[in-house]
Amino acid sequence: MDRMRTHLVYAHPHRASLNAALRDEAVQTLEGLGHTVTVADLYAMNWKAVADFDDFGPTESDAFIDAAAEAWEKGSLTADVKAEQERLLAADTVILQFPLWWFTVPAIMKGWMDRVFTNGFGYGTSRAWKRYGDGLLAGKRAMIVVTTGAADAHLSDRGINGDINDLLFPIQHGVLFYTGMEILPPVVITGAGWQTDYADMVKLLRHRLETLAETEPIAYRRQTEDYDENKRLLPGREPEGTTGFALHAA
């Protein structure tokens, strides 16, 4: 494998947590494979979670979305946001690791998304903006590593919490694939701390990191190929009876 660069974005409030141990295993494994690894440990960095006008420097725009675009164009975004954008641009692989809190990322990681994937970098308001399979981060691979307190069955296809793959769709498809990255199937550790042995978790995580390059990405549909001018899936593209988020993967 060529020398690769991985950016690991990590959020857990407890420095000695199971998640922290898994993060260290991940870094060690990746470095052992020859990757250069950068880590954004959001709690340790005291990452600012709330996107607001302070992110933009002086602005003449009233509307938030316009002020964001102005800051991107002028290069006046705050240094913490710029640094994360640069680490993303430099990486081949992006990993988000977090505990599932209320069925999505902790607020501090949502704040990483809100602030880093700002107007001009993560999205644009033009109809010509490249998205869903293309964008500034095209050519990179992204993978989620998530721990859940909930049991495996509760997050299974008929589980009461909803299927974990559907719960992760807004992040994997709506954030990461949106910005151009290819999405590898997530590493999901359910029943963390009571249902799953630590040794088994590490084995799974290592295996997935060792096979990053040859793992097949989720076959999300590209905006340019399978959708009409109103961004609706073209008729007949899906197996009969498919509904919901499943429509958007081939």
- Residues interacting with a copy of itself, by CB under 8 A? 12-14, 16-17, 43, 47, 49-53, 62-65, 101-108, 110-111, 113-114, 117, 122, 125, 132, 149, 151, 153-154, 156-163, 166-167, 169-170, 173-175, 193, 221, 223, 227, 230-233, 241-248
Is the Cβ of residue 63 or residue 199 nearer to a copy of itself in the bound state? 63
Backbone dihedral region for residue 215 (phi beyond 0: left; psi -120 to 50: alpha; all else: beta): beta
Please provide residue 64's backbone torsions phi and psi, each rounded to the nearest 5 degrees: -60, -45
Query: How many angstroms separate the Cα of 229 from the Cα of each of 123, 218, 233, 234?
Result: 18, 24, 10, 10
Contact between 112 and 181 under an 8 Å Cβ cutoff? The reply is no
> What is the smallest separation between the CB atom of 232 and a copy of itself, expressed in angstroms?
4
> CA torsion sign, 60 to 76 to 56 to 5?
positive
> What is the smallest separation between the CB atom of 87 and a copy of itself, expressed in angstroms?
19
Is the Cβ of residue 66 or residue 92 nearer to a copy of itself in the bound state? 66
> What is the smallest separation between the CB atom of 62 and a copy of itself, expressed in angstroms?
7
Which residues is 189 bridged to in the sheet?
A: 147
Is the Cβ of residue 105 or residue 184 nearer to a copy of itself in the bound state? 105
- What element of type H or E holds 189? strand 187-189
Query: How many angstroms separate the Cα of 17 from the Cα of each of 2, 21, 120, 240?
Result: 32, 6, 36, 45
DSSP-based three-state secondary structure for 168: helix
Tokens representing 70?
């102005």
CA distance 50 to 92: 27
Which residues is 138 bridged to in the sheet?
A: none
> What is the smallest separation between the CB atom of 138 and a copy of itself, expressed in angstroms?
17
- What element of type H or E holds 204? helix 198-210
> What is the smallest separation between the CB atom of 238 and a copy of itself, expressed in angstroms?
9
Is the Cβ of residue 30 or residue 144 nearer to a copy of itself in the bound state? 144
Is the Cβ of residue 92 or residue 114 nearer to a copy of itself in the bound state? 114
> What is the smallest separation between the CB atom of 29 and a copy of itself, expressed in angstroms?
25
> What is the smallest separation between the CB atom of 128 and a copy of itself, expressed in angstroms?
15
- The radius of gyration of the chain's CA atoms, rounded to the nearest angstrom, is 19
Is the Cβ of residue 120 or residue 209 nearer to a copy of itself in the bound state? 120
Is the Cβ of residue 113 or residue 184 nearer to a copy of itself in the bound state? 113
